[in-house]
Amino acid sequence: MSKVVDLRSDTVTKPTQKMREAMMNAVVGDDCYGEDPTVNALEKLAAEKVGKEAAMYVPTGTMGNTAAIMAHVRSGDIVIMEPDCHIYYYEMGNVSSLAGALPVLAKSKGGCLDPDLVEEMLRSTRHRPRTALICTENTHNRAGGRVIPIENMKAIYELSREFNVPIHLDGARIFNAAIALNVDAQEIAKYADSVMFCLSKGLSAPVGSLLAGTADFIQEARRARTRLGGAMRQAGVIAAAGLIALRDMVSRLPEDHENAKVLAEGLAKIEGIDIDLQKVETNMVMVNTRPLGMGAEEIARELSKRGVKVSIYGLHTIRLVTNKDVDRDGIRLAIEAFEDLVASIP
């Protein structure tokens, strides 16, 4: 079978051999009793990586975000977020259905919350429900892996201190953001009270995310995790791969960013392909299919016939995500598939 280049997401990455061996040999215990040494080691390392007191292992990023919101808010509270954030757009309404909170949407640009808008919302709460949380996301998925600059995070953080409202950061790809900003992940996480990040995306673990914050917050989040059915037992079997993800795989993420640049530049040279190269900041490339006179679905189907898988991100937008399992050769094949497709358009 000819090679398939899967650029749908960095979640498609397969665990490494070292991860598989670590999983087989993991020392485990019952994590609900706090007795799984591998989970404990992962939670400790995760908290250190983002400069927080404590961390909790969860099966998915969605559960990490949901447990965080449940731990921060009471039923009927307002959570400020922007309409394209993963929590609002993809997480099945958990913020209202499971946490009982009311998402109030602040328009954003490139995933950045507008501090003026947020301030207006924070100020206008006298006859309204209590505002209990602000959610941010870095890197921003629907914005195409865009990085939220430090100044924006800082501006929102300062407001949050003034109004005494905590911030939860969906940092599913916080290490990609840190690399692009050329800072440590702690430097990003310090502008949030709680942060969730994923091991199962660019870091290639088969499963798992972490939620980090103060020790008191994490204790409350553990109750929320149990309510969600996410308290696991000998979870060290999967946490063992997570430890390798955190220790070994962060340092290879720049390779994905470089590949995204090579891919974007190669595609931008093809007539009719519309890419804003300025917006390629991490491992994602967004392509506007409109100038080709074809919808995203049709383009995705045609590329798939040529061995390249991409995600549909709108009627006329496709997303390509570079990842560990696509090397420079794969990037070249993807560019060639686009060239072939464009050449076939009458």
Ligand X SMILES: Cc1ncc(COP(=O)(O)O)c(C=O)c1O
Q: Which residues bind ligand X (CB under 6 A)?
A: 11, 60-62, 86, 137, 141, 170, 172, 198, 200, 209
201 or 316, CB closer to ligand X? 201
Please tell me the distance from the alpha carbon of residue 94 to that of residue 339, in angstroms, as a whole number.
41
- Residue 158 beta carbon to ligand X: minimum distance, rounded to whole angstroms: 24
The residue at minimum Cβ distance from ligand X is 61
Please tell me the distance from the alpha carbon of residue 213 to that of residue 221, in angstroms, as a whole number.
9
- Residue 233 beta carbon to ligand X: minimum distance, rounded to whole angstroms: 20
- Residue 262 beta carbon to ligand X: minimum distance, rounded to whole angstroms: 23
The 3-state DSSP composition of the chain as helix, strand, coil percent (nearest 5) reads 45, 15, 35
Per the CB < 8 A criterion, the answer to whether 38 and 253 are in contact is no
Q: What is the DSSP string of 150-194?
A: HHHHHHHHHHHHHTT--EEEE-TTHHHHHHHHTS-HHHHHTT-SE
- Residue 140 beta carbon to ligand X: minimum distance, rounded to whole angstroms: 7
Q: Which amino acid, 321?
A: V
- Residue 208 beta carbon to ligand X: minimum distance, rounded to whole angstroms: 8
11 or 288, CB closer to ligand X? 11
98 or 268, CB closer to ligand X? 98
171 or 266, CB closer to ligand X? 171
- Residue 41 beta carbon to ligand X: minimum distance, rounded to whole angstroms: 21
Is the peptide bond between 11 and the residue preceding it cis, with omega within 30 degrees of 0?
A: no
Per the CB < 8 A criterion, the answer to whether 177 and 147 are in contact is yes
Can you tell me whether residue 81 is helix, strand or coil? Answer: strand
122 or 139, CB closer to ligand X? 139
Alpha helices per DSSP H over 134-284: 150-162, 174-181, 185-189, 215-227, 236-244, 253-268
- Residue 9 beta carbon to ligand X: minimum distance, rounded to whole angstroms: 7
- Residue 280 beta carbon to ligand X: minimum distance, rounded to whole angstroms: 17
80 or 333, CB closer to ligand X? 80
CA angle 96, 121, 140 (to 5 degrees): 65
Q: Which residues contact 213 (CB under 8 A, 6 or more apart)?
A: 52, 53, 54, 55, 68, 193, 194, 195, 221
11 or 125, CB closer to ligand X? 11
90 or 163, CB closer to ligand X? 90
Residue in the block written with tokens 């996480």 = 189
Q: Which residues contact 52 (CB under 8 A, 6 or more apart)?
A: 189, 194, 195, 212, 213, 214
Measured torsion, CA atoms of residues 128, 132, 137, 138, in degrees rounded to the nearest 10: 130
